[in-house]
Amino acid sequence: MENKIDVRDFNFYYSSFHALKGLTIPIRERQITALIGPSGCGKSTFLRSLNRMNDTIAGTSATGEVLLDGKNIYAPDVDVTDLRNRVGMVFQRPNPFPQSIYDNVAFGPRVTGRASGRALDVIVEESLEGAGLWGEIKHRLRDSALSLNPGQQQRLCIARAIAVKPEVILMDEPCSALDPVATLKVEELMRVLAKEYTIVIVTHNMQQAARVSDFTGFFWLGELVEFGPTTQLFSTPQQELTESYITGRRG
């Protein structure tokens, strides 16, 4: 099994606040890696470090390495737009653009100049299919994306992310704004997507991590306390802190 991403001794700072401390994490290719931990422990910050979305926040800095296929994404010659093409992201709150369903999915291929016309139609259909949404909405591609329900909106965002054929998909608590039925659909979708994509998901829901992921990392105050195969981490945690957190005694 290959490591798609290798994080090595990674530190992250919001101005002087040391948010991530010496993280070393392997992200396996075509596996689902879940990150759990109490809120404020740096899960989102870490996730946003993997596609350099933190660059958009002023005053931040990072040290250490994040190797994507062996190449450090923080190297000076890296083009962040290329990087984000390869490492897509789905946010906590569904954030479709206030445009048509079609335009939302077509956004990525259009800005990257990958496709237009008929080829673009095909990509849109494939991506919506891939996000399990095609059947529900194929007759209303011209409708506003905001007319979809939250669950559909989140799957639309997933379709929008996979339309540029990324290699990695980052998901930051993608189900926290969804009801249980919509959550289940997104979780099923993740299992399907993991056949093709490397997925990193942040969740505060330990059952969700246990249900969907292959590997789990447990964060605490900016540090990685424990990392391992999900079944192992939940059945025989090595650290006392992990055990007390997953059994609900902490956090």
Partner 1 sequence: MTTNSSVTAPTPAAAQEKGQRIHIGEWIIENLIRLAGLSTVLIVGLIFLFLVREGGPAFLDIPLRQLFGSRWYPIEGIFGLLPLLVGSLIVTVGAVVIAVPLGLICAIYLGEIAPTWQREILKPLIEMLAGIPSIVLGFLGWVVLAPLIQNAGAATGLTAFTGAIILAYMSLPTIISISEDALYAVPKEYRDGALAIGATQWQTIWRVVLPAARSGIVIAVMLGIGRAIGETMAVMMVTGNAANIPALSSGVIFQPVRTMTATIAAEMGEVAQGSLHYNTLFGIGIVLFVITFAINSLAGRIVGTRGARRTGAKL
Ligand X SMILES: Nc1ncnc2c1ncn2[C@@H]1O[C@H](COP(=O)(O)OP(=O)(O)O)[C@@H](O)[C@H]1O
Interface positions with partner 1 (CB under 8 A): 51, 53, 56, 58, 80-85, 88-89, 91, 93, 95-99, 107-108, 110-112, 144, 146-147, 157, 160-161, 164
Name, in order, each residue with C-beta under 8 angstroms of 218's C-beta and a sequence gap of 6 or more: 36, 37, 224, 225, 226, 227, 233, 237, 239, 241, 242, 245, 246
Instruction: Output phi, psi for 72, to 5 deg.
Output: -70, 120
Binder to Mg ion among 20, 27, 32, 44 (CB under 5 A)?
44
- CB count, 10 Å around CB of 101? 27
Calpha distance 11→39 (Å, rounded): 19
Q: Which of 39, 56, 81, 207 binds ligand X (CB under 6 A)?
A: 39
Nearer of residues 72 and 176 to ligand X, judged by Cβ: 176
Between 31 and 203, CB nearer to Mg ion: 203
The residue type of 234 is F
Q: Which is nearer to ligand X, 87 or 123 (CB)?
A: 87
Position 49 contacts ligand X (CB under 6 A): no
The entry of Mg ion, partner 1, ligand X, none that residue 45 binds, CB within 5 to 8 Å by partner kind? ligand X
- Report the 3 state secondary structure along 82-129: HHHHHEEEECCCCCCCCCEHHHHHHHHHHHCCCCCHHHHHHHHHHHHH
Q: What token pair was written down for 5?
A: 């991403």
DSSP-derived pairing of the beta strands 87-90 and 168-172: parallel
| Binding residue for ligand X, selected from 9, 24, 40, 70, defined by CB under 6 A | 40
Q: Which stretch binds ligand X (CB under 6 A): 13-21, 138-146, 178-186, 224-232?
A: 13-21
Minimum distance of Mg ion from residue 92's CB (angstroms): 7
Written in H, E and C, the secondary structure of 157-209 is HHHHHHCCCCCEEEEECCCCCCCHHHHHHHHHHHHHHCCCCEEEEECCCHHHH
Cβ closer to partner 1: 112 or 205?
A: 112
Q: Is 57 in the site for ligand X (CB under 6 A)?
A: yes
Cβ at position 140, least distance to partner 1 in Å? 12
Neighbours of 116 (CB within 10 A): 12
CB of residue 81 to partner 1, shortest distance in Å: 4
The rounded distance, in Å, linking the Cα atoms of 107 and 184 is 27
- Between residues 90 and 225, which has the closer beta carbon with respect to partner 1? 90
Q: Taking the complex as a whole, how short is the minimal distance between the CB of residue 196 and ligand X, in angstroms? A: 26
Closer to partner 1 by Cβ: residue 156 or 246: 156
Provide the 3-class DSSP secondary structure of residue 237: coil
- Residue 144, beta-bridge partner list: 100
Nearer to partner 1, 69 or 214 (CB): 69
Determine, following the binding rule CB under 6 A, whether residue 42 of this chain makes contact with ligand X: yes
Query: Which residues lie near ligand X (CB under 6 A)?
Result: 14, 17, 19, 37, 39-45, 57
